[in-house]
Amino acid sequence: MSELASLGVVGVVGGLGVFAVILLPACWLQRRRFGRVQPQRLLGIAVICVYTMTLAGLTIAPAYDVALTCRSRTGGVLRLDPFHTLTARTGFALVQAALNTALFVPLGLILRGVLRLDATASVATGMLLSALIELTQYTGAFGIYPCGVRIADIEDLLANTLGALVGVLLAPLLTRWSVPLFVHEHAESADPWEHWRELWHGGEEDPEVTERTSPGRRRGPGR
């Protein structure tokens, strides 16, 4: 098994471990909010845990033998050419760029569709997280490793940000398909452009709050 595949397996196991830790609190919160435990939402939480830990393993943990890598490298390695994959014109380089993009698509989905950040904040968060990952790679996990065991690449930053943007654009579709954790219950609007405006602006109203505060539901004195 390759080193990257091993990191992926460790990420899956670690994600399931995190899910096991938060399972009881998640069940308690669901019973308090919905009156019952919803297995489909628990499954969504498990998927997010596995994705988060796998992302950390694939991008931060060393993919190769640390001693062997640092034997021929001092400090970090920084690659500033943003188009070296396009100029390389090799199948492996293009696949790697595509994988770096795909790796952050779920992050954009989670930020926009689950955490309900607006589109700009979601893309910016994805870009900042990618920059933090590249900095971690360049500094050898801020000194934990004797050298930068991974290459900090500006092209990875661009590809990750693009992936987050794709996830942001796809998040409203998962909401419309009633995917667990993506459901935003609100009154349908007759405005055909509202969907696209909501793509870039968050802040949907809580339907319970809207129902309690709507003029038809208010109860004044003597009623």
Which tens digit of pLDDT belongs to each residue from 166-196? 999 999 999 899 898 998 544 344 454 555 5
What pLDDT, on the 0 to 100 scale, is given for residue 64? 74
What pLDDT, on the 0 to 100 scale, is given for residue 189? 46
Check whether 221 has a pLDDT greater than 80.
no
Q: Kindly report the pTM of this predicted structure.
A: 0.78
Residue 114 identity: V
Q: Token match 């060393």: residue?
A: 62
CA-nearest of 131, 109, 123, 120 to 59 is 131
Write out the two tokens for 171.
Answer: 């998040």
Residue 191 CB partners (closer than 8 Å, separation 6+): none
Which tens digit of pLDDT belongs to each residue from 14-60? 999 999 999 999 999 989 988 899 999 999 999 999 999 999 988 88
Label residue 81 by pLDDT band (50, 70, 90): confident
Residue 71 CB partners (closer than 8 Å, separation 6+): none
Residue 151 CB partners (closer than 8 Å, separation 6+): 77, 78, 79, 137
Residue 178's DSSP bridge partners are none
What pLDDT, on the 0 to 100 scale, is given for residue 184? 57
